[in-house]
Amino acid sequence: MDNEKELIGTYPNTYTYTKSMAERSMKTRLGNLRCAIVRPSIIICANHEPVPGWIDTLAAAGGMVFSITSGLMHYVPCDG
**Rounded Cα gap, residues 34 and 49, in angstroms:** 32
Dump pLDDT digits (tens) for 15-61. Answer: 888 889 989 999 899 988 888 888 777 777 788 888 887 877 777 77
1, pLDDT greater than 70: no
7, pLDDT greater than 80: no
What's the whole-number mean pLDDT along residues 2-26?
83
What pLDDT was estimated at residue 4?
59
List the domain boundaries for the chain.
1-39, 41-80
Residues near 56 by beta carbon (within 8 Å), at least 6 away in sequence: 4, 13, 14
What pLDDT was estimated at residue 72?
93
